[in-house]
Structure formats: structure tokens, C-alpha cells
Amino acid sequence: MNRIKNLIALGCLSMLAACGSQSPVLMQVSGNTAQALKAQCAQAMVQGPEIKLADSLVSSAALLAEKKKMVEAIQTYDNATVLYRIALLRREQLVAEKDIQNLEKSVSMAQSQRDTYNRVLVELKNMKK
Amino acid sequence: MNARSRISLLILSIMPLSLLAAEAAIPSTQGKSAVAAKPASSALVVSHSPQALLAKIDAATKGVDAAIVSKSTLTTEARSTIGAYKIAYDKDSSLKKIGSFFTSCSLVTEGAVLDVAVLVSKEKISSLVRKHNAILIELNEIHEKIIAEERSNALRFKEAMTADLDSTKRKSEELRLEAERSKAESERRRLESEKRFSELQSTFIQVKTDARGTIISMSDILFDVGKATLTADLKTSLAKIAGILLVFKDSRIGIEGHTDNVGSEAYNQDLSEKRAKAVLDFLVVQGISEERLSSVGYGFSKPVADNATKEGRQKNRRVDLVIQEKKVAN
């Protein structure tokens, strides 16, 4: 997650910088951020509509960069970056939901076990009387 | 920018991403978007106002802990972007001017909503983990209490069993000692009674011991001839015997009358019964409980000597007192 945050920070910087100048360096930063997230999504085998659209945007941004349309290229890269982040978040949310389900089951089982243990303890104490 | 991306971004610029995703806005492999095929009029109803975007973020963060919201970088980013978008929107809200900016805002807003949802889920996971761990700790404590109770119960049970066993052993030992004491006492009494009975031994009274007990044989000379009346000598002897029997209360006395074979069987049977009964009655008068006494006549059916001789017949005419000590259990 720290890696993503760093990338986000870089992306934000590039967006802000792009507003003030059309520096190819900033465009490079946005492009690198998008590419890094794309690689991360591919490595994590994240799929979905956002990935397809983001991949398409990365290609478009590259073409725009070739045509020296820096503002459009940066904006397109940034949109792709957000889409990759959304895709990653969706995956994260799915995993979290499964974790929650499993944990709720575990908690329920542990509560049931605790009730059983308490009953056993009461019975053992009653044996003394 | 290629044609597919242009179409997609155009759609993005007029629709929130959620609608885009829901309606599969991604161009198909055939290069034709399902949403792109829709009439443009349906997309025009979507609001482009920054307030609508902020409202989405507000709805997503409503009721969520401020500390959690503050962790969402996308939310911060979205609010900042929307702020800039508002300035542009207020200047000129035409789609041509703000379209691409709105697309970026829409995306980052969607991301912010999702980011908050993920953070809420993570917080819920943390909370569940804490709850689970707390229950596990509690379970462990209860388990230890159960083990302690079981040990305590087992110890109590063992102590009770040991005490019970000790008590049983003590009782058993007491019973054994009591039996030994009784046996010794019985033996002492038997010897004492034998000694005292043997003191009665005379020409007419024979004392012997066999499997049945102590047998005191009294000669018929102590009776009047042919009668069952007791002579003074016999009464004296019987009184002494009664005195001994009064002391040794645990004994039972069987009185047996016997005759020789002179005369009819019926006569001898009757005489033997009467003599045995006369002795019993005398002993009762002397204070011996009737419950301890029994009498029987055998006539001449149980001779102890040859009836062909005078000496033998004399030995056969007798009354036997069979004294049985009460048996002591081991």
C-alpha cells in the first residue's frame, strides 16, 4: 500500500505540475505512475472493465505524448492511474468482504464454544454442591 | 487517443463511473460500446455539478469515523479536485469546456467512495479480529478454570474414596478383632465350662467332649427304678450343672434319654422321654431359659455298650446333656 501511496503522490504532483507547465518530465512521471500501476494490476491478476479502459487510456496517452499534446497526455495517464487504483480497490474490497465473512464465522464459532465451556464450568461447579 | 478511448472518455465525461461500470461501458472486442450505442438523450440527465460529486462523497463518508475518512487519500484528492472543478464549472458549465475535467472528477470520486468502503471494511476486520482475540483469551481462561475444577473434583473424589477405604479398613479390622476376641472368649468359656463340668465327674456322671460338644452322661441310678422321678443326688448334680449353664448363657442344651433293651420298645421309649423331660423341667426350675433347652427320648435305639452284659446295659441306661457352645463366626 505504501508503494501505491507513493505512486499516488507522484501522480498528484504530476497533475498539479501539468497545470502550470507542459513539462515532458511531468508527463513522464504521470506515465510512469500509470505504467507502474498497470504492472501491479497485471502481477496481481486484477481484471475487470476498469483495467480494459485504463489499458486503452495508457495507449492513448502514449499517442498523445508522441504528438506533444502534453496536457491531454498527462490527463489521460492520470485517468488511467485512477482507474487502476479503482480496480485494485475493488479487488481489495472483495478480499476484505471474504475476510469479514470468515471472521464473522470464526467469531460466531468462538462465541458458541465459549457458551459451551461456560455451561461445562457451571456443571462442574454444581457438582461440588 | 484512439477511437475506442475517445468514445469511452466521452461517456465517462457525461456519466458517473458507477453507471459506466454497471452498464458495461468498456468497448467490446468488436470495437462497439454497449453504452455508446445508447441514445445521447439518456446520458444528458446525469448532473455534472460539483455538488452532486461532493454529495456522493458525503454519502459515502456519512456515519464513518473521521479518523477513518482522514486515512483516505483518494477522498482528500477527490475533494481537492472537485474544488478546482467547481471553479471551472462556475465559470462555464458547458459540456465542451468542462467535459474532460468532469471525467477526472468522476473517476476520482468513484475511487474515493471505494477507498472509504475499503477502509471501513478494514476497520471492521480489525474490530472482528480484536473481538475474536478477546473471545479466544476468554475461552482460554474458561478452559483453565475447567481444568482447575476438574482437578479439584478429582482430588475431592480421591480423598472421599481414600477416606471411605480407610473407614472400611478400620471397620474390617475392628470386626476382625471383635471376632478374634469373641473366639478367644468363646474358647475361654468352653475351657472354663469343660473344667467346671469335669469337676462334676463321678462314678455316676461322666463328662466327655466330642464333635457335638460337651456331653454329660448321667447314670440311671440317679433315677428311681422304672420311674422318671429325680433322686436327691441327681437333683444336686443338676443344680450344679444349672449353675454353670446360667453363667455360660450362649450354650444350648439338648437332653437325651436312653435305656437298655430290657422290656418293650414302647415302654423304654416312654421312659426315656419322661426322664429327659424330667431333667428339662428341673433345669427350667433352676432358672435355665426353656428356649435353650430341648428334650428327646431314644429308648434303646442308641446304645453305647453291649446290652448282652450287665455292665453294658448299665452304661446304656442314661440321660445325656449335650451342651453346644454358640458358634462364633470368623
Task: Give the residue from chain A lying closest to B25, CA to CA.
Answer: A49
Give the residue-averaged pLDDT of A13-18: 52
d(CA B124, CA B176): 76
Q: Any CB–CB contact under 8 A between B88 and chain A?
A: no
- Could you tell me which residues come within 8 angstroms of residue B134 by beta carbon, excluding any fewer than 6 positions away? none
CA distance B63 to chain A (A): 19
CB atoms B138 and A114 under 8 Å: yes
Closest CA to A66 of A21, A24, A19, A14: A24
Q: What angle do CA A49, A54, A59 make, to 5 degrees?
A: 135
d(CA A74, CA A76): 5
Looking at residue B231, its pLDDT comes to 82
Task: Check whether A18 has a pLDDT greater than 70.
Answer: no
Contacts of A55 in chain B (CB under 8 A): none
Closest CA to B205 of B222, B220, B218: B218
Q: Which residues 58-87 of B have a C-beta within 8 angstroms of A? A: 73-74, 77
Task: Check whether B34 has a pLDDT greater than 70.
Answer: no
The β-bridge partners of B297 are: B257
Looking at residue B17, its pLDDT comes to 45
- Write the pLDDT tens digit of every residue in B211-222: 888 888 887 777
Give the residue-averaged pLDDT of B148-155: 91
* Better-scored residue on pLDDT, B30 or B288: B288
Q: Grid coordinates in use for A117?
A: 465451556
Give the neighbor-by-neighbor strand order of the sheet with B293-297: B205-210, B213-219, B318-324, B252-258, B293-297
d(CA B86, CA B164): 92
d(CA A92, CA A85): 10
Q: Are residues B258 and B302 in contact, defined by beta-carbon separation less than 8 angstroms?
A: yes
Contacts of A97 in chain B (CB under 8 A): 121
- Write the pLDDT tens digit of every residue in A92-113: 999 999 999 999 999 999 999 9
Of B130-139, B144-153, B196-205, give the lowest mean pLDDT range.
Answer: B196-205
Task: Check whether A1 has a pLDDT greater than 60.
Answer: no
**ipTM score assigned to the predicted complex:** 0.81
- Could you tell me which residues come within 8 angstroms of residue B252 by beta carbon, excluding any fewer than 6 positions away? B292, B293, B294, B323, B324, B326
Looking at residue A3, its pLDDT comes to 59
CA distance A86 to chain B (A): 5
Determine the distance from the C-alpha atom of residue A101 to the mean position of all C-alpha atoms in its chain, rounded to a whole number: 20
* Better-scored residue on pLDDT, A102 or B35: A102
Looking at residue A23, its pLDDT comes to 67
Backbone phi, psi, residue B206, to 5°: -105, 135
CA distance B181 to chain A (A): 42
A60, A113, A124 ranked by CB distance to B2: nearest: A60
